[in-house]
Structure 1
Amino acid sequence: MLLPQIADEQDADILILCEPYRVRQTQDWITNETKTAAIWVRGAARARITARGVGDDYVWARVGAVTYVSVYLTPNCAAAEFRAKVALLGDGFRDLPGDLVVAGDLNARAVEWGMTATNRRGRLLLEMAVRLDLVVANTGDVPKYRRLGFGDSIPDVTMTTDRTLPRIGRWRVLEGYTASDHQYIAFEVAGETRTTRTRTRHPPRWNEDKLDEIGVCFGGHDFNSDMSRTL
């Protein structure tokens, strides 16, 4: 039950998951057919879901004015197949409603998200981002993937529409134990309205003096806990 515990500690309303160890068969879980991408919307945020959908390598949920997307791109495909997958992602994202926040394990390298060099996969993803007016929200170069004998890497990437980027706050890599070779990432998305839930748990209250804020947790592959994570 490590994932729910971390989500509670980070006060995360939305969890974006890649290759979850276990998938819940509940209405607040959204996953694709291959179970490689999932979104878990928790607590009061569930009442704000206005739309949801599933693609081949991604799932999405619109919560309020923002559409959250979970993406997983396997490292085990040839260059032509990867190019085709990115093209399908671009076509799918273009039709999504609202402002986008895209997070996932993209298995690609790019200087823009903290790597020392950009490879072919990274260039394809950056070209897609330019076409869709998406920008990288990662900050710093702290490794997200750490595995003995394989070195460190940053496969987990957050992108958002340019107009949404100023609303992304406190993007950080969590350094605690995850039962995985991926570290969790957490960030907050400030809303556009003047109504928001305060961070008290029992009972939830609403405070009109603060901006609406959603806590998001996104990550990688949690092999041993109750569910895999994306914070």
Structure 2
Amino acid sequence: MSHDLVSELVIEQRADLLIITEPNKYVVTRSGWMVDTNGDVAIMNVSGRIAWRLTSRSGDMLAVESDSTLAIGAYVSPNCDIHEFIRRIDIIQGVVNNATKKVIILGDFNSKAIAAGSAYTNRRGEILTDMMGAVSCHCVNDGTPTYEARGHSSVLDLTIIDDRWSREHWDWQVLPHDKTRNGLSSSQKS
């Protein structure tokens, strides 16, 4: 049901690209989706107005590019240990280091960082913040929770952009949560 709701939202927002973490694996095996090797990140070129090409795929990370932008979708499980977290962040950093285009990273990193709007920074957040600094990126999240369950909320789903985007207009928001959705969705426009 959440995939159907996302499809409606994409049409309403006139989105060009859809990046989903922890997708319904049955839904994304259908044509039109690019999926990482673990099935935890899926990307679809929904409008067809921009040509997106798959450039990098690994477990929990998928990168596509257009003529002007490199978009990375990422998911890091809360169950992986700190060494595996570092390895996955290093893969993303390597892709960004080789980029010649503006970069946007969207994903669920299961980390806490003040730089991403959390109330505190944990070890994973330190590693992610260090990576953002190393590749001249920053998080556009404003502290609005992107995950809610059983009375608990967190800023887990992040939008990270490189500094070349800072001259662009951004309308970043967490869309309202209602009873028909399983979680909160974020929308980015440039």
| Partners of 1:174 and 1:183 within 8 A in 2 | yes
Task: State the percentage of identical aligned residues.
Answer: 24
Contact 1:104–1:157 under 8 Å retained in 2 = yes
Alignment counterpart, residue 25 of structure 1, candidates 27, 30, 40: 30
Per the normalisation by structure 1, the TM-score is 0.74
Q: Which residue of 2 aligns with 1:162?
A: 163
Higher relative contact order (CA 8 A, sep 6+): 1
Answer whether contact 2:108 2:156 (CA < 8 A) is retained. yes
What residue ranges of structure 1 are gaps of 5+ in the alignment? Answer: 190-231
**SS of match in other structure, 2:159:** strand
Instruction: Name the aligned partner's letter for residue 18 of structure 1.
Output: T
Structure 2 residue 73 is the aligned partner of structure 1 residue 65: no
What is aligned with 2:184? Answer: 183
Structure with the largest fraction of helix: 2
Instruction: State the 1:50 CA deviation.
Output: 4.5
1:168: Cα distance to partner?
Answer: 4.7
Partner secondary structure for residue 38 of structure 1: strand
How far residue 49 of structure 1 moved from its aligned partner, in angstroms, is: 2.2
C-alpha separation in 1, matches of 2:150 and 2:170: 31
Cross-structure match for 2:150: 148
2:74 alignment partner, SS class: strand
C-alpha contact (below 8 Å) 2:15/2:47 kept by paired residues: no
So what's the TM-score if we normalise by structure 2?
0.89
The answer to whether the 8 Å contact 2:112/2:155 transfers is: yes
Among 110, 115, 122, the alignment partner of 2:113 is 110
Q: Which of 10, 15, 32 is matched with 1:12 structurally?
A: 15
Cα distance in 2 between the residues matched to 1:30 and 1:168: 28
Between 86-95 and 35-44, report the one with greater CA deviation.
86-95
Shift of 1:38: 1.4
The DSSP-based 3-state class of the residue aligned with 2:30 is: coil
Give the distance between the partners of 2:56 and 2:82, measured in 1 at CA: 27
Aligned residue pairs: how many?
184
- Runs of 4 or more, structure 1, over 3 Å off, are none
1:84 lines up with 2:87 in the alignment: yes
Measured in 2, the distance between the counterparts of 1:108 and 1:99 equals 24
8 Å CA contact retained: 2:74, 2:107: yes
SS at match of 2:125: helix
Rounded Cα–Cα distance in structure 2 between residues aligned with 1:4 and 1:87 = 32
1:35 corresponds to 2:36: no
Instruction: Say which one has the larger Rg.
Output: 1
Q: Is 2:14–2:47's contact at 8 Å kept on the other side of the alignment?
A: no
- Partner secondary structure for residue 99 of structure 2: coil
Q: Deviations over 1:115-145 (max 9, x none)?
A: 110110000011111111111121x221110
2:20 and 2:72 map into 1 onto residues whose CA distance is 10
Choose the corresponding residue for 1:131, options 122, 129, 134: 134
